A and B are shown apart, each in its own frame.
Chain A
Amino acid sequence: MNREDFPMLKNNLIYFDSGATSLKPSCVIKEITNYYENYSANSHRGDYDISLKVDKMLDDTRCKVKDFINANSSREIIFTKGTTESMNMIIFGFMKNYLQKDDEVLITKTEHASNVLPWFILEKELGIKVNYIPLIDNKVTIDKVKESITNKTKVISLAWITNTIGDIRPIKEITKLAHDNNILVVIDGAQSVPHIKTDVIDTDIDFLAFSAHKMLGPTGVGILYGKYEYLNQMLPLNYGGGMNSFFESDKTMEFKELPERLEAGTLNLSNILAFSKAIDYLENIGMDKIEKHEKELKKYLINKLKEIDNIEIYNEGTDSGIVLFNIKNIFSEDTSNYLNHYHICVRAGNHCAKMVKDELIIKNTCRISLYLYNTKEEIDKFIEIMKGNKEIFKVIL
């Protein structure tokens, strides 16, 4: 789809690592320079035209994000650096005050580090208990969530789609079950928001974190969504300019309302405003169409891979555009290196979810993550190279 919009694709590259970061269309790249060349000013300070323009564009972008995930109010949308910062704000800015000793938090062993480590730290600090929902065939089932809930469970914190095996979790059902038991739901949307339609009202989730750079946007920008009542109780992790109404030498101070209260300091304006173009771009195509395209590609890819006899595929049954595989008896990094010789970018390793090795039989895998700009032709080229894998050591050594 729309390959001519992506300058990186002119480099004769087969890019299969959009799960790490996506490529950017020209309209996003141009908007970054547009900011610096035509309306380079700070926000919230505006006594002159270009600063007012920045304010207006910032508001528009916030509204766009709100509509994109179908939130109630743009005050529920906070600009951050990325999923990682959003998760840390949720856990240390809100949960740290909300939870008490012995309260339980449910995660899984296939979560990304940013949905694990902050919880581990909170366990140390507060004496809460982080428990794992057992996975069935590496997936979360509603039954296992049910079995894992105790009267101490206060939070369920999950990736909507995992960056490892790419399973899509039944978030709406989980949230319903959670709310029936007075449990809050935190969603890591880093891999889902770019690929499937997100509706925070329909799913009723309480918090959502995601990154612009995985959805055609620039690096260094993320979103924190929270229901207003919770976000309004969140304590800032940063204090300073932009978030205060006033402060005096006698140490009285007052902070602004949402969203500014949680956005201290100068924002990453050029990239936030360019993110707005990424959302336009995705909406113009339509998330349904993107999801369908990826599904089709994945099916095509898996069928072709299966025709090669020494390939092992680990996540055939999952619905997202992520495929995990190895060449039999070849270490994943050697495979990614081999592919790199042909300018094919795939990721090798355990994909920063280091606990996955407890679950999958195999520790290290190659990961292909597809996006809207990938094509069957690229897959065909990749398959050609993979068919020659008997020569791998001739190529990489």
Chain B
Amino acid sequence: MDSNLRREIIIDNYQNPVNRKRIDNKDFIHVSTRSDSCIDNIDLYVKINNDIIEDLYFDGEACAITTSATSIMIKKIIGKNIQEVKELMNNYYNMIDEKEYDEEKLGELLAYSEIYLQPNRKKCAMFPFETLKKAIKEYENKM
């Protein structure tokens, strides 16, 4: 993916993210992550049924990378089951950590394929998934 396209995807998802809404509904698991660096702050509202991510919203204030990655993540995982989400996450983290990864499966997440060039932004790209992990854990603990 060339750098212009990467940038376009990030800016587009940053300026017009999907599903940005605070949800007040008991069917949704609410997890909040405040980053240790005192900056990004994201709330995820996740509805999981029979191991399937049925719906997902976010709210909060964060940088361009975190916000866009959250939006892209939401689009990618609604309708997927937890196992599939974990595989996607592994694949995505492999890309970020400069390990071998499967390009085919990442779609818009490829926009972060060169984020390793800015090590201090890696955490931003991983942030939505780290937050999602918490929600999945909460779901699994309940089961």
- Residues in A lying within 8 Å of B, measured CB to CB: 331-334, 337, 348-352, 354, 363-364, 393-394, 396-397
Contact = CB atoms under 8 A, between A and B. Distances in A.
Contacts of A354: 38
A350 B62 contact: no
Given A337-B121, A397-B6, A397-B11, A332 B39 contact: yes
Nearest to B15: A329
A333 B63 contact: yes
Contacts of A334: 63-64
B7 interface: yes
A334 B15 CA distance: 13
B40 interface: yes
B11 A393 contact: yes
A246 to B, nearest CB: 45
B70 to A, nearest CB: 13
A348 B121 CA distance: 14
Which one of A331, A351, A394 has the greatest number of beta carbons of chain B within 10 Å? Answer: A331
B10 interface: yes
B69 to A, nearest CB: 12
B39 A333 contact: yes
B62 A394 contact: no
B41 to A, nearest CB: 8
A19 to B, nearest CB: 14
Contact of A349 (B10, B39, B67, B120): B39
B83 interface: no
Contacts, number: 43
Given A333-B62, A393-B10, 14 more contacts: A331-B61, A331-B62, A334-B63, A334-B64, A337-B118, A337-B121, A348-B39, A350-B38, A350-B39, A351-B38, A393-B11, A396-B64, A397-B11, A397-B65
Interface in B1-60: 6-7, 10-11, 37-41
Nearest to A331: B63
Contact of B40 (A333, A351, A393, A397): A333
Nearest to A393: B11
Interface in B117-136: 118, 120-121, 124
Contacts of A348: 39
B64 A393 contact: yes
Interface residues of B, number: 19
A209 B125 CA distance: 39
Contact of A331 (B7, B38, B64, B121): B64
Given A331-B61, A333-B63, A393 B37 contact: no
A349 B10 CA distance: 21
A334 B41 CA distance: 14
B10 A363 contact: no
A35 B110 CA distance: 53
Contacts of B64: 331, 334, 393, 396-397
27 contacts: A331-B61, A331-B62, A331-B64, A331-B67, A332-B39, A333-B39, A333-B40, A334-B63, A334-B64, A337-B63, A337-B120, A337-B121, A348-B39, A349-B37, A349-B38, A350-B38, A351-B38, A354-B38, A363-B41, A363-B61, A364-B39, A364-B61, A396-B118, A397-B6, A397-B10, A397-B11, A397-B64
Given A348-B39, A349-B37, A351-B38, A394 B7 contact: yes
Contacts of A396: 64, 118
Contact of B7 (A332, A337, A352, A397): A397
A253 to B, nearest CB: 41
The 5 A-B residue pairs whose C-beta atoms are closest, nearest first, are A349-B38, A333-B63, A349-B39, A397-B7, A331-B63
A349 B61 CA distance: 11
A393 B7 contact: yes
Contacts of A331: 61-64, 67
Contacts of B37: 349
B32 to A, nearest CB: 13
B16 to A, nearest CB: 13
B98 to A, nearest CB: 19
Nearest to B40: A333
Contacts of A352: 38
A6 to B, nearest CB: 24
A283 B65 CA distance: 45
A397 B115 CA distance: 8
A313 B39 CA distance: 19
A165 to B, nearest CB: 16
Contacts of B120: 337
Contacts of B118: 337, 396
A157 B128 CA distance: 38
A364 B34 CA distance: 13
Nearest to B6: A397
